[in-house]
Amino acid sequence: MAKTFPEGFLWGASTSAYQVEGAATTHGKKPSQQDVINKDNYQKYGFATAEIASDHYHHYKEDVALMKEMGFTAYRFSIAWSRVFPDGVGEVNEEGIQFYRDLIKELKDNGIEPIVTLYHYDLPWALVEKYDGWISRQVVEDFKYYAEYVINEFKNDVRYWTTINEQSIIVQYIDQKNFIPEKYQGNDQIRYQINHHMNLAHAIACKLVHELVPGGLVGAPLGYAPVYPLTSQPKDVLAMLNAEDLRNHYYTDIYFKGEYTKSAMIYLEEHGLAPVIEEGDMELIKEGTSDFLALNYYASECCKWCEDEGQGIRYNGVNRSGKKGDLSGFETHPGFYQMCKNPNLDTTDWDWAIDPTGLEYAFRDLYTRYGKPLMITENGFGAYDTLTEDGKVHDDYRIDYWTKHLQALKRAIDKGVEVLAFCPWSAVDLLSTSNGVKKRYGFVYVDRTDDDPKECKRIKKDSFYWYKDVIESNGGNL
């Protein structure tokens, strides 16, 4: 097998608009639902707001220079809908779209391929106030208005497009990734209704890229975790199949087959959770086929059989403290499956299983199932990083994590899987959706705290220099 990664393989990293940019309500931008959610998180938990984040809006040239120094050939980022259309539709914010023109030009001038995500959790707040956001079908038309403008604007500069970030994670953690008005809270059917509306929006975006972008390629960036059975007992293996169908295939079958996984849909129908599907919806979804699948892979999951003894459905809890074992609960679907801790794997401080082999498994399984190219748009190790007195960050734990995951990715490639890019999370430290800025992921340390943004000074971590060497050798020194 080849020692290095394939010729033309794209090396880079990822961010998202509301987590890195700042300038959340300035320069013509109006709030997104994440701006509102993060203000609430600050009041409840002391986590930073999105007002400044990593201040990428004012540091983008410095950040691109750091990417170039590492050797990036790609950078995956998202465009903030409410920066382009502050009210969701209507007049474009010229200052907002100019920021992305400038960013994309800076990337291309430095030999870095932009990989654009159209939507990363940050729906314009105006549309939440207007009609409850993704809960309403009107959002599909408004998304089309936004997406058509952006794709047209950058059709000659951007080849790779990703649509809606992590639909599966939005379903699982709906209150963190969506603002859910009080009248809908506790109504689990809306999880799948929102997802259906997102599937329509995804299909529309795919069609627009195919129609407007010369040689354009488009796919979804999906939060993906393969599921293992807790034991080899047949019922645990059946639980694994059920969990894979509802947590994974329910999304990927839409992207590549244009249909909902039958077993998952039957389960949702039996429990009053299935989305309302209108005439013509599935035809539209079939027309909007993906060219590739982008994976946000952090961890694998584990499950066991769960008898239906009258207990209700519950969805995954979250660890907000960063202390192992503080996860507030596991997803449970009685008579179908129950998620659980994998006793064979260590975890991060936030209870995410560390499993490089799971990446290899997922890539091989998905490529066998669909035969479509894959890429990594997120993969990373959230940790408390320490800035030493002499201004350094020694993150050997992160280097170890990425080394082992890249080795696993290479093994998948050696088994015939077509992989386009490795864009881990994240290019620079940024605002974690559920844990503020103290949970760090970047190659570059951003000097700020949850309470004090300081000057957001950039400091290269040890992983910065490690990744530079990896890219220079095209993965040959792993």
How far from each other are the two terminal CA atoms of the chain, in whole angstroms?
14
Q: How far apart are CA 282 and CA 261, in angstroms?
A: 13
The partner residues of 338 in beta bridges, in order of sequence, read: 304, 332
| Secondary structure element (H or E) that encloses residue 221, with its range | strand 217-223
Nearest residue to 245 via CA among 264, 221, 218: 264
CB-count exposure of residue 3 (10 Å: 0-12, 13-18, 19+): exposed
Pair 13, 425: CB distance under 8 Å: yes
| Secondary structure element (H or E) that encloses residue 193, with its range | helix 189-212
Q: How far apart are CA 95 and CA 478, in angstroms?
A: 43
Q: Angle at the Cα of 335 (from 331 to 338), degrees rounded to 5?
A: 25
Local structure of residue 310 (DSSP, 8 states): S
Strands (E), 49-95: 74-78
Q: Angle at the Cα of 172 (from 279 to 220), degrees rounded to 5?
A: 60
Rg, the chain, Cα only: 21
Q: How far apart are CA 234 and CA 305, in angstroms?
A: 9
Q: One of 113, 166, 301, 360 is an active-site residue; which one?
A: 166
Q: How far apart are CA 326 and CA 399, in angstroms?
A: 25
Nearest residue to 9 via CA among 464, 422, 294, 291: 422
| Secondary structure element (H or E) that encloses residue 460, with its range | strand 457-460
CA 179 to mean position of chain CA atoms: 17
Cβ count within 10 A of residue 238: 14
Cβ count within 10 A of residue 35: 22
Catalytic residue list contains 166: yes
Catalytic residue list contains 21: no
User: Peptide bond preceding 426: is omega within 30 degrees of 0, i.e. cis?
Assistant: yes
Q: How far apart are CA 11 and CA 406, in angstroms?
A: 11
* Residues with a known catalytic role: 166, 378
